[in-house]
Amino acid sequence: MHIIEGFIFGFLGSLHCVGMCGPLALALPLPTKSAGKKAMGAVLYNIGRAFTYGILGLIFGLLGVGLKISGIQQWVSIACGVIMILSVVLPGVIKLPKSSNKVSTSVYSALKKKIGNSLNRKKLSNLLVIGVLNGFLPCGLVYVAITRAVTSNTLSDSVLFMVFFGLGTLPLMFAIAYFANIIKSRFLHQLRKAIPVFIIILGLLFILRGLNLGIKFISPEFKENSTEVKCCH
């Protein structure tokens, strides 16, 4: 079910992706002489993002295993939900330390520079590279997905959730990239207005998930029956 959940989460959250990463998708150096190659380029870009999300799922899935062993996994889910809601209701109240801002800014600048250089290379394989790099860019929706991955039952669940989260964003992001010539930036601006509402809804779902109510998909029970890292079913 983590595969279906990840895909649905990515599909519904792709509005956020369009609002945040839409400008980059519009600027992709897709081939224009062949419709097939243009479509392939757009797919490679999105596969690159899904690959990066899978790597993040592996990294944070290992963290989740540690949290599960310590028995605080569900509290992490509740805390993240509260933080997400507060970030919308009381903007500016929750601030990261200045040191972390410097680190994130330097990482963002380095990625932005690499992506900028890649946008000048018109090769299909390069679109895969752009997608991989894009997956590492700071993104609120990805952070939320990572939090969900951290609360997965197994390491494989975490990885697959993140991969299919990326694939869930593919339909809309593919459309933005493929039909870039007829999409106006004002459309992306309008989509950004819906992001705060989406974040609040996700925050509520994270709180419900952490409450351990035994409701399938919405608030499943956290199992503490094993301390073993499961990499496969």
**Could you tell me the pTM of the whole model?**
0.75
Q: Give the DSSP letter of residue 71.
A: T
Q: How many CB atoms lie within 10 A of CB 11?
A: 17
- pLDDT band at 230; cut points 50, 70, 90: very low
Query: Rounded CA gap, 48 and 133, in Å?
Result: 8
Give the model confidence (pLDDT) of 203-223 as tens digits: 888 788 778 777 766 666 655
Q: Give the DSSP letter of residue 207.
A: H
Take residue 87 and report the two structure tokens written for it: 């970030």
Query: Rounded CA gap, 81 and 74, in Å?
Result: 11
Take residue 155 and report the two structure tokens written for it: 């390491």
Q: Give the DSSP letter of residue 221.
A: P
| Residue 215, strand partner residues | 219
Give the model confidence (pLDDT) of 145-191 as tens digits: 888 788 777 889 899 999 999 999 999 899 888 887 776 656 666 66
